[in-house]
């Protein structure tokens, strides 16, 4: 399976495209390949970013984005908005989305979700506020189920979790955790069809709080290959690939924030799961550790595939909010602890900023070589230019 990371603007707008290993012949009648799942992150294309008043903060891109309108890319499955600040939740850009589309779901940090609903542009049924992650609450993880690629295959799953920082008065510091487990065309061991365990042994791992030791190690262990589960929800029913067209409707996805009932099957080795943590302003390690030690370990999603985080550190006086971007000093612990395969720089554009809130801001810039030296040679470090793409494999 693979993850394609495309940098849409010079700042922190990314298009993430997750794909299974299987490849299907091209067809003129589908826009998105079977099993693929795409997420558009914090879209901001043209127009300024204005916070409250131009005298407080006005930001402008200094490098034009690689597209002029969101209609120039295929409709994403999810538009992800990490916070309500206008450089992340940009109204002019969001209004470029088709309000009548039933293909795209908007997932947003709670304040951002409220702001987007207030635009009165979208069907509110397609806007969802992300709950704060808790390893004690399985329903705090939003799940999308992807239909199997063929009859007899296993369904895939995308999970999205909102990981806020505690006591963050600025509302800047949080992370979004994403995992992708692809659907398959058939059982990986086709010679022996697995039998369900006796009902007396059937459990639902997603319907009970995760149990973990109170004093777990600072670095979560590398995930073992987990056993695959069939979801019992009707939403993962198979659509025959022999139909004349693989369309968006074929790949229609079921979203759930509730605990799903699943039946474990024995002896089905699963592919490893792609995992992403997106934290443009940075977040402290403890909430990430809770997420990794519970969800990522149980999902066979470690080492972390991609870490989207700022390189540069930006600091204001405490009375103007204190730290703005944690940068390299704030991200290195997360990158090392989760054995990150690739760190992609985010939110480091040299924007044209003006206003009272930035007159005292001090920026310490870090280049790619400095980040590489700090995280070590085991982690690939990338600084994507506008329109550049990176393909990562699990």
**What per-residue confidence (pLDDT) applies to 81?**
96
Query: Which comes out higher in pLDDT, residue 64 or 62?
Result: 64
pLDDT digits (tens, 9 = 90+) for 18-58: 999 755 555 444 467 788 999 999 998 987 665 666 666 67
How far apart CA 392 and CA 394 sit, in angstroms, is 7
Q: Are β-strands 306-309 and 342-345 bridged in parallel, bridged antiparallel, or unpaired? A: parallel
Query: In which band, very low, low, confident or very high, does the pLDDT at 361 lie, cut at 50, 70 and 90?
Result: confident
Do 144 and 158 contact (CB within 8 A), yes or no? yes
Q: Is the pLDDT of residue 204 over 60?
A: no
C-alpha to C-alpha distances, 353 to 48, 195, 357, 384, nearest whole angstrom: 10, 61, 9, 22
Q: What is the mean pLDDT of residues 118-136?
A: 94
pLDDT digits (tens, 9 = 90+) for 181-190: 999 876 554 3
- Rank 44-48, 61-65, 74-78, 231-235 by mean pLDDT and report only the highest: 74-78
pLDDT digits (tens, 9 = 90+) for 24-33: 555 444 467 7
Query: Model-level pTM?
Result: 0.80
How far apart CA 139 and CA 39 sit, in angstroms, is 21
CA angle 43/46/49 to nearest 5° reads 75
Q: What is the mean pLDDT of residues 296-302?
A: 94
**What per-residue confidence (pLDDT) applies to 2?**
93
Q: Which two tokens stand for residue 219?
A: 């670095």
CA angle 45/359/83 to nearest 5° reads 40
Query: In which band, very low, low, confident or very high, does the pLDDT at 15 lie, cut at 50, 70 and 90?
Result: very high
Q: Is the pLDDT of residue 274 over 60?
A: yes
**What per-residue confidence (pLDDT) applies to 30?**
44
CA nearest neighbour of 272 among 218, 341, 333: 341
**Omega of the bond prior to 82 within 30 degrees of 0, cis?**
no
pLDDT digits (tens, 9 = 90+) for 210-219: 333 333 344 4
Mean pLDDT of the chain: 78
Q: Are β-strands 323-325 and 313-315 bridged in parallel, bridged antiparallel, or unpaired? A: antiparallel
Q: Which two tokens stand for residue 225?
A: 């290959």
């Amino acid at each position: 399976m693979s993850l394609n990371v495309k940098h849409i603007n010079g700042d922190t707008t990314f298009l993430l495209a997750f794909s299974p290993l299987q490849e299907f012949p091209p067809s003129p009648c589908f826009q998105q390949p079977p099993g693929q799942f795409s997420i558009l992150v914090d879209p901001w294309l043209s127009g300024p970013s204005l916070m409250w008043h131009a005298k407080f903060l006005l930001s402008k891109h200094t490098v034009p984005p690689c597209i002029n309108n969101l209609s120039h890319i295929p409709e994403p499955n999810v538009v992800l908005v990490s916070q309500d600040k206008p450089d992340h939740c940009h109204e002019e850009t969001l209004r470029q989305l088709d309000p009548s589309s039933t293909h795209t779901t908007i997932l947003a940090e709670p304040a951002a979700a409220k702001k987007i609903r207030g635009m009165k542009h979208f069907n509110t049924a397609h806007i969802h506020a992300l709950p704060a992650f808790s390893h004690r609450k399985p329903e705090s993880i939003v799940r999308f189920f992807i239909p199997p690629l063929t009859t007899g295959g296993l369904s895939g799953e995308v999970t999205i979790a909102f990981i806020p920082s505690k006591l963050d008065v600025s509302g800047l510091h949080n992370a979004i955790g994403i995992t992708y487990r692809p659907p398959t065309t058939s059982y990986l061991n086709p010679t022996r069809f697995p039998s369900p365990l006796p009902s007396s042994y059937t459990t639902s791992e997603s319907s009970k709080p995760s149990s973990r030791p109170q004093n777990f190690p600072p670095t979560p262990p590398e995930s073992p290959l987990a056993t695959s589960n069939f979801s019992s929800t009707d939403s993962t029913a198979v659509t025959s690939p022999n139909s004349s067209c693989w369309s968006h409707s074929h790949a229609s996805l079921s979203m759930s924030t509730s605990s799903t009932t699943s039946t474990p099957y024995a002896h089905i080795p699963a592919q490893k799961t792609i995992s992403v943590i997106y934290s443009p302003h940075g977040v402290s390690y403890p909430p990430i550790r809770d997420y990794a030690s519970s969800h990522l370990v149980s999902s066979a999603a470690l080492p972390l595939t991609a870490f989207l985080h700022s390189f540069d550190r930006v600091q204001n006086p405490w009375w103007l909010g204190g730290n703005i971007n944690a940068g390299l000093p704030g991200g290195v612990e997360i990158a090392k602890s989760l054995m990150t395969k690739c760190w992609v720089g985010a939110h480091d554009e040299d924007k044209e900023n003006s206003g009272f809130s930035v007159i005292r801001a001090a920026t310490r810039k870090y280049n790619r070589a400095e980040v590489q030296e700090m995280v070590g040679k085991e982690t690939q470090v990338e600084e994507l230019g506008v329109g550049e793409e990176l393909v990562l494999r699990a």
